[in-house]
Amino acid sequence: MLTVPIYNTMGEEVGAFEVDENVLGGKLRRRLMHDAIVMYQANQRQGTAKTKTRGEVAGSTKKPYRQKGTGNARAGSRKSPIWRGGGTIFGPRPRDYGYSMPRKARRAALKSALLSKILDNEAILLDQLELPEIKTKQMVEILSRLKISNESCLLALENHDSRVWRSARNIEKLKTKPASDINAYDVLRGRRLLMTRAAFEGLLESFESNKKAEG
């Protein structure tokens, strides 16, 4: 059994949450996590790089000079790729770099990412997180009490909370998402993982239900 510490918003440890590592895959699948991160990064690429071919470069189509008698190499166009200002041979073209891994593989990568954070003592739980008003200062103070204010962090909530989200959106190293929307890349890109207890329990329940549904 693995143990994840539970804190309150005052930074006091109030308990521990025990989780069976088999629910999180039982072992780290580093290759699978790498493949998932490469996929998520590839899906973020815009793919808008483009160069002009000789047919797209602006310029005259007139032959620069006569074929023979000048001492120069033969040339038929100023837009030739071997001329300065000419087109590009086999340059980049707009393309879609995105692709998808199987759903079971993505889920297994997420489990391994969560397991790695727990094993490295980089994951903590909050018993609850409720803000009375939208105020970034309150969120900064909570992170400071938890001693993670200077580190990049993913904050996963049970459901979308507009107060928490709007209070956290201007904090540079903090990313806030509902637990149902997180993936392996979200978990691993931040140094720390901060989740509410309800969000973590809901995530584990979804893993169990998916496992039963798959057979």
Classify burial at 7, counting beta carbons within 10 Å of its beta carbon; exposed 0-12, middle 13-18, buried 19 or more: buried
pLDDT band per the 50, 70, 90 thresholds, residue 114 = very high
Domain ranges of the chain: 2-46+101-213, 51-91
Q: Torsion angle, CA of 172/155/132/145, rounded to 10 degrees?
A: -80
For residue 17, the SS3 value is strand
Buried b (16+ CB within 10 A) or exposed e, 197-211: bbbbbbbbeebeeee
For residue 166, the SS3 value is helix
pLDDT 10s digits, 161-174:
899 999 999 999 99
pTM above threshold 0.75:
yes
Q: Is the pLDDT of residue 39 over 90?
A: yes
Percent of the chain whose pLDDT exceeds 70: 100
pLDDT at site 25: 87
pLDDT at site 80: 95
pLDDT at site 215: 63
How many Å apart are CA 18 and CA 73, to the nearest integer?
A: 78
pLDDT 10s digits, 123-160:
999 999 989 899 999 999 999 999 998 899 999 999 99
Q: Is the pLDDT of residue 96 over 70?
A: yes
pLDDT at site 26: 86
Arithmetic mean of pLDDT, 86-108: 95
Q: Give domain 2-46+101-213's CATH number out of 3.40.1370.10, 3.90.950.10, 3.30.200.20, 3.40.30.10.
A: 3.40.1370.10
